[in-house]
Structure 1
Amino acid sequence: MAVVKLTKQDIVEMKPEDVATIATRLEQDEYNTPFEALEDWHLLRAIAFQREELAQPYIHLLDIEAYDEA
């Protein structure tokens, strides 16, 4: 699996189908190395921060918890 580096503009132009593809790979968890999975995880996380509406159906894959840092 090739590592894909996306820019902010790439994330802005993403479609729901693109995010679904990333989420499917994460759910299937059939990566050759843990680093490949981590790349997809970081990508989905970046999408969640920049385009929350696209990542919302897959937020469970990120396992993000709210922290009270106040």
Structure 2
Amino acid sequence: MTGSVQSFSPEQIEQLTPTEVAALAARLEADDYRSPFEGLQDWHLLRAIAFQRPELVDDYIHLLDLEAFDEA
């Protein structure tokens, strides 16, 4: 799906296994994509997983650069 946007349904995310999430994280760590869009697609998938099934991304949260912001 090069150059296109793919969305992932909650059902698809619910069916992901820890092994599949680990493979996704490994691809992001390696950052060896044919195009920046492929990497961005994986990043968006990992982000969606983080919101729906945060227990699967505990070890990979650093890949998302999500930080709590102190608005004080």
Q: TM-score, normalised by structure 2?
A: 0.85
Q: Which runs of 5+ in 2 are unaligned?
A: none
State the one-letter code of the partner of 1:33.
S
31, 36, 49: which is aligned to 2:51?
Answer: 49
1:64 aligns with 2:59: no
Q: TM-score, normalised by structure 1?
A: 0.87
24, 27, 30: which is aligned to 2:29?
Answer: 27
Q: CA RMSD in A?
A: 1.6
Deviation beyond 3 Å, 4+ runs, structure 1: 2-5
Identity of aligned residues (%): 57
Q: Which runs of 5+ in 1 are unaligned?
A: none
- Measured after TM superposition, the shift of residue 6 of structure 1 is 2.3
**How many residue pairs are counted as aligned between the two chains?**
69
State the one-letter code of the partner of 2:53.
R
C-alpha distance in structure 2 between counterparts of 1:22 and 1:69, whole Å = 32
Moved more, 3-12 or 24-33: 3-12
